[in-house]
């Protein structure tokens, strides 16, 4: 049995979504939330997170987003979003300035 480890803020967002059908998405908790949605088969939330990621990855949000990747890198949704960031031609220079682990900057 695999137990998903979530930060408290991510767990609160997941519970908020399950209770109300909505929650406030933010870059610093996005990876945790998308992995929680994937783990618990909350497909609408997962899709909302993917859509948000497509819109929110920019110079202001990429560093907090990728810092959270270290916690969730073993999950496929995290790997997908990290790869999307790496593939964006406007962001590689920023990755060097984010003080990120080497595996993210590769």
Mean pLDDT value of segment 4-33: 92
Res 37 pLDDT > 90? yes
Instruction: State the Cα–Cα distance between residues 73 and 32, nearest whole angstrom.
Output: 10
The structure's pTM equals 0.81
Instruction: State the Cα–Cα distance between residues 17 and 73, nearest whole angstrom.
Output: 23
Answer yes or no: are the C-beta atoms of 36 and 14 closer than 8 Å. yes
Higher pLDDT, 18 or 83: 18
Res 1 pLDDT > 50? no
What pLDDT is recorded for position 13? 96
């Amino acid at each position: 049995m695999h137990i998903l480890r979530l930060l408290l803020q991510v767990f609160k967002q997941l519970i908020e979504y399950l209770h109300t059908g909505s929650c406030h998405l933010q870059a610093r908790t996005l990876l945790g939330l998308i992995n929680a949605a994937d783990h618990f088969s909350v497909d609408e939330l997962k899709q909302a997170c993917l859509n948000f990621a497509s819109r929110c990855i920019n110079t202001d949000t990429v560093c907090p987003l990728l810092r959270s990747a270290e916690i969730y890198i073993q999950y496929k949704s995290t790997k997908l979003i990290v790869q999307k960031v790496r593939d964006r031609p406007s962001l590689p220079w920023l990755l060097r300035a984010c003080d990120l682990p080497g595996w993210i900057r590769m």
